[in-house]
A and B are shown apart, each in its own frame.
Chain A
Amino acid sequence: MKGNEQIRILVVEDEPAIAADLCFVVEEVGYEIGGTASSVDEALKLLEDADIDGVILDANLRGASSASIADALKARNLPFFVLSGYLQRQLPEPLCGAPFLAKPYDQDELTSRIRDLGR
């Protein structure tokens, strides 16, 4: 926790409509959008440059696995959860071992998962 400071969430999702929805929910929860990324490179760059407290991570970005992002997040000890239309067991390591939210998601569950990122 960062005390009184705003919690900044990075949304990594290549589907624009979903990314938009996720941003709205993040703001509803009371957190701030630390950035949005639709590709692996973009996400890794934002992790380098921006001040991020938690990440919503789509498992598949324009056909590429986001496993490398998960690795980077683990290395930084940043909280995140994986969002995917695939079954969790179909995902490669380390995505399949991370907290998981299946698409299409339930609003309340999404809200509680996002809230957890700030704890």
Chain B
Amino acid sequence: MAARYETWGAGLERPGVVAVTAGAAWIDVSERRSGGQFFFGDSETAAAIAAANWARSPLGLPQTWPKRLRVALEICLNSAFPIAIFWGGELCLLYNDAYHGLLADKHPRALGRPAREVWPEIWDVTGPMLQGAFTDGAPTRSEDLQLHMIRNGRRDEGYFTFSYSPIPDDDGGIGGVFCPVVETTDHVIGERRLRTLRDLAALSRAENEGEACRLAASVLAVNGYDLPFSAIYRFDHERGEAELMAATGVRPGGHIAPLRIPLGDPDPIRGDIWGLAEVARLTPGRVAIRSIDARFGEPPCGPWPAAADEAVLFPIVLLGQDRAAAALIAAINPFKRLDAAYAYFLDRVAAKIASSMTDARAYAAERERAEEIRVRELALQRTEAELREAQRLGRIGSWRWSGRHDDRGGASPYIARIFGLDPDAPPPSFAEQKGLLYAPADWERLDAATSETLRTGEGFELDLPAHRADGVAIHVTIRGEAVRDERDAIVGLRSTIQDITERKHAQERVELLLREVTHRAKNLLTVVRAVARQTARRDSPIAFAQRFDQRIAALGASHDLLVQNEWRGVELHALTRSQLAHFRDLFGSRICMEGPTTVVKPAASQAIGMALHELATNAGKYGALSNDTGVVHIAFGVVGEGDAPHFEMEWRESGGPTVVAPKRHGFGHMVILQMAKHALGGQVTLDYAPSGVVWKVSAPLDNVIEPAQGED
């Protein structure tokens, strides 16, 4: 640039050139002539001007050109910057060497021609601007103005920064327009492509390959100039087809971008119209070029006034793969040659899509792995929770242990529950469990069993009494087996510990009950036998049958009550009613009962029951219940508060026939008196008072009354 200024500066200092001041009314230019011609310098254009036949130009011969024009032209020709001059009413074009690039093949025939003739293709834009500068003297300034000139036989996308400035003519009017201009096409297009590539690089990571394609397409769609339309197809090599992932500038599923393309299918409509089968086999760096001919119908134009007639097809090969996963179809700007810069741009776009898809695939795989791990972890958590619940439900804990006495091993949470240990503290070591969880002797049994298993590999099962940390006795079943490493060596012990305390208690209760029932059954048989013998001693065979029956039935009735109450004693009102069932109609009228709810012990219930039975039998035969008016009054309760409370019961007859004491006592008498005394361990009296029999019992409370449930 410095050299150019020098040339320019040297021109200023040339003799005859007077520096002008603002508002100068005149100007003097020294003219060099050569052979009667004006001499404009040594440039190519100057030569062309000199050689041109100006007679046919509206400008006329250069000799006739106004002085101002000549001055302007001299400046123009001496400039290394592209400058044009439009002169006269027809705005005829003059320019310098630097301007040739803008004209391309229009030079040199454009020289001296009206601007309208030179650029009819852009006249709609530039015409009014030029006319404005020329007629109104208003200068213009345009930056990167899009002007698609036809140059070298084709219309080309072009951008220009220029200004139109009026040039005064010699008589004070406007003679023409001065136009310095620079073509910014490469810059504008370069910027545009760079933006596309930048936007592609800035895309957020896609979740999958399809989304990567769609995201890339959203960027490509913005740049319709370089990509009038585009489509990305993913190859499904197994099915031998390509699936449309995304498209821009063209309708997905239409004729140009079908949703699916059968690879290699020759059908001209439904077949492989783009020749994608070939693209699928291309190695990275190779492309296929397809002309968009009649087969494609009327392709969309994008922002251009004409449709693309060519497309470049790129194979998209993902990192680490050896064949194309997808293809990019990029339609070419009909107003731009597919030059090296364009090809490089498209190649970068394809590479960006490839890397986005690679990332998405890696991301999807990563996510799948993470999801798999998450699912596995969830399943594991569920299994663990299930195991925990199952252990709780089965009252089973598990314990894994190396076999060393000082080792705490690993215990499942339920272990702490079984032994009442702090669940947050580490479990006691095996040695510490001695005395703490198991009595020393029991611990030694466990030690022997585990040592044996660790030595031989044979599992063990032990039922052991144990203790909770709070001292409560429990019972556990321990099952153990050897844990082996991959070389089958015994490396420890795995065991389950089950709390069987309740089962053990139930079992003990059942055993006790069984023993008890057997005992009672035998006792009862003995009683029956004694009753039979004693009854037989006194009565005739017929009377025996009747009396024996009644007595056994009475025994049975009190037994029933006992069983109903699960051997926990019998309520006295109920017992009395059952023994006097024969006289049930007289209850409330001739048989009165008085006393609180009183539960008597099983043994006492049997004695009292049998005594009541004998009393009632006698009363029915000889006593108060043998006529229509007699009354039996039964009363019972506890008397004497404090240290020696006593159970008392009374049977008092009245209103019956006059009582005569029997001369001979039989079994009934024995039951009423001896047996009751015997069973209750107290005082029993039987008074044959003439007005009525009175039977009285007084016995220590403990012998008779069943302690209330829950308090002992």
Residues of chain A at the chain B interface (Cβ within 8 Å)? 14-21, 24, 36, 38-39, 42, 60, 62, 84-86, 90, 102-105, 107
Contact = CB atoms under 8 A, between A and B. Distances in A.
A98 B610 CA distance: 32
Most chain B beta-carbon contacts within 10 A, residue among A16, A20, A21, A90: A16
A18 B519 contact: no
Contacts of A104: 522, 525-526, 528-529
Contacts of A42: 681
B291 to A, nearest CB: 112
Interface stretch (B17-25, B579-587, B667-675): B667-675
A104 B678 CA distance: 20
Contacts of A102: 522
B316 to A, nearest CB: 93
A16 B676 contact: yes
Nearest to B527: A17
Given A17-B671, A85-B521, A103 B678 contact: no
B46 to A, nearest CB: 144
Interface of B: 515, 518-523, 525-531, 533-534, 537, 603, 607, 610, 667, 670-671, 674-676, 678-679, 681, 703
A22 B125 CA distance: 144
Contacts of A14: 603, 678-679
Contact of A17 (B519, B530, B681): B530
B519 A60 contact: yes
* Chain B facing A: main interface SS: helix
Contact of A16 (B515, B607, B703): B607
Counting chain A CB atoms within 10 Å of each CB, the highest count among B528, B537, B670 belongs to B670
A24 B681 CA distance: 21
Contacts of B520: 85
B523 A16 contact: no
A62 B671 CA distance: 18
A39 B681 contact: yes
Contacts of A36: 674, 678
A17 B519 CA distance: 16
Main secondary structure of the interface of A (DSSP, over half): mixed
Q: Which of A39, A42, A62 has the most CB of B within 10 A?
A: A62
B675 A85 contact: no
Contacts of B528: 104
Contacts of A15: 523, 526-527, 603, 679
Contacts of B515: 86, 90
A84 B610 CA distance: 22
B479 to A, nearest CB: 32
Contact of A85 (B518, B529, B671): B518
Nearest to B679: A16
B667 A20 contact: yes
B667 A85 contact: no
B511 to A, nearest CB: 11
Contacts of B675: 16-17, 19-20
A15 to B, nearest CB: 6
Contacts of A16: 607, 610, 671, 674-676, 678-679
A15 B675 CA distance: 8
Contacts of B534: 17, 20-21, 24
A96 B175 CA distance: 152
A35 B537 CA distance: 22
A20 B526 contact: no
Contacts of B667: 20
A20 B670 contact: yes
Nearest to A25: B533
B681 A20 contact: no
A23 B515 CA distance: 27
A18 B526 contact: yes
A38 B522 contact: no
Given A39-B681, A85-B523, A103-B522, A20 B671 contact: yes
Nearest to A90: B515
